[in-house]
Structure 1
């Protein structure tokens, strides 16, 4: 329980119901009658609302499309894992030995899920205001500047817009291969223009590999254009 008190200190919130906090930090792999999946579901909805409201108020001139893109850049596994790391959630989650051996404490998916669950648990105990206070403080620290240029990293869209304007063509993505066991596959993808390979990149998913390859291709093409 002392470790949980440490976590509450970094969270700046003390739970009345310690079992609720423990549930929020319990991964499904851990031998326990409860896990954090239901709280994660609730927290996801709460965070979606809080971040949406935050962006609406912070960026009064942004249109609906821009707000949607910004929210999508914050409300996702990567974004929540960053906020989770600010609270060192990985040090406090309850996971199986197998997950422990598989570096579960640093997995973005586990960190993100635990963060959502903790926020869901706080919402159940005291309501929206306290969750908003914690989340906005974390957002301001993690993202001192919030706008499309710094947050929205859809490189595939940016590359497509660039190549259509510059060359009148749409880039194609080619899967070059996949390595590693099923639970830890790494994909390699190439970006093609006019059947010519422009850039390659690897990622833990095809989507992330495509985004990274698009980022490299965009930087390369812009440099050539200068």
Structure 2
């Protein structure tokens, strides 16, 4: 028998607010997509973005569940890749896992499998700015739901949910080539074309609780930005910029311009 974790020890939210939220959620559709049901209070907890919690005193955010779900997701995806790719080394497996559980992949799952944007509880400002379709919020909420499934159903239930959500993605990433490691791939391509290493010029904007990192990719010895990425973390922004830069180096005019810059610097 699976040993379940105890329920979260966060403050009990206002009963009227909790009941109202629960009554508005078409939970059965979401449970079907997850392959598991959740207690109403735990479901609300998993769907509560910090912007909503800040506007409704007593509601806990989903950040602790997100932290837990991230660990469960990494464990199950690692276990799966280890079993189905016995011929691959650690580095290859790590790249595949990183791609499969990336913000890009999880936000796509949130949109196509869970239709999650309609369920997420957002504050007015975040909702008005399109928060229900932001990759970062969708990704975090998927992880929070996985964490909630683990809390209620233990590792066996969480494993089943993770398989239902990401097995298709795990199969796809094995065929994606450079997409598994954009930063390495853009470096290799730049060297093949005779350029120096990529460098990432970073900037950050927005309030402390919702910072946006911007990465501008420039090849050493040149001046032009060949790729730009924006994301909720420095690493993710650099990955987006690396992908854009890798694709830019397929353009012959861009390469010619870069070579002119090298010759004049």
TM-score range, shorter chain: 0.7 to 0.9
Q: Distance in 2 between matches of 1:150 and 1:4?
A: 38
Which digits, 9 at most, give the CA deviation of each residue in 1:45-74, with x for residues without a partner? 111100100110111101011111111112
Q: Distance in 2 between matches of 1:126 and 1:172?
A: 45
What does residue range 207-222 of structure 1 map to in structure 2 within 5 Å? 207-208=238-239, 210-220=241-251
Q: TM-score, normalised by structure 2?
A: 0.70
Aligned to 1:189: 216
Q: TM-score, normalised by structure 1?
A: 0.81
Aligned length: 219
Structure 1 stretches of 4+ moved >4 Å: 177-188
Aligned to 1:27: 49
Aligned to 2:230: 204
1:104 correspondence with 2:131: yes
Could you tell me how far 1:98 is from its partner in structure 2? 1.0
Kept after mapping to 2: 8 A contact 1:10/1:87: yes
Which of 40, 51, 55 matches 1:18?
40
Q: Distance in 2 between matches of 1:209 and 1:122?
A: 30
Kept after mapping to 1: 8 A contact 2:227/2:241: yes
Could you tell me how far 1:190 is from its partner in structure 2? 5.0
Aligned to 1:164: 191
Q: Distance in 2 between matches of 1:186 and 1:118?
A: 26
Which digits, 9 at most, give the CA deviation of each residue in 1:5-26, with x for residues without a partner? 33223323222x2101110111
Could you tell me how far 1:214 is from its partner in structure 2? 2.1
Could you tell me how far 1:29 is from its partner in structure 2? 1.2
Q: Classify the secondary structure of the residue corresponding to 2:26.
A: helix
1:91 correspondence with 2:118: yes
Q: Distance in 2 between matches of 1:11 and 1:41?
A: 18
Q: Classify the secondary structure of the residue corresponding to 1:219.
A: coil
Q: Which sits farther off after the overlay, 80-89 or 103-112? A: 80-89
Aligned CA RMSD, in angstroms, stands at 3.0
What does residue range 97-176 of structure 1 map to in structure 2 within 5 Å? 97-142=124-169, 144-147=171-174, 149-150=176-177, 152-165=179-192, 167=194, 169-173=195-199, 175=201
CA separation of 1:20 and 1:34: change in aligned 2, threshold 3 A: same
Which digits, 9 at most, give the CA deviation of each residue in 1:66-88, with x for residues without a partner? 11111111223222222222201
Any gaps of 5 or more consecutive residues in structure 2?
1-22, 232-236, 256-265
Could you tell me how far 1:43 is from its partner in structure 2? 0.7
Q: Which sits farther off after the overlay, 122-131 or 49-58? A: 122-131
Could you tell me how far 1:151 is from its partner in structure 2? 7.3
1:52 correspondence with 2:74: no
Any gaps of 5 or more consecutive residues in structure 1?
none
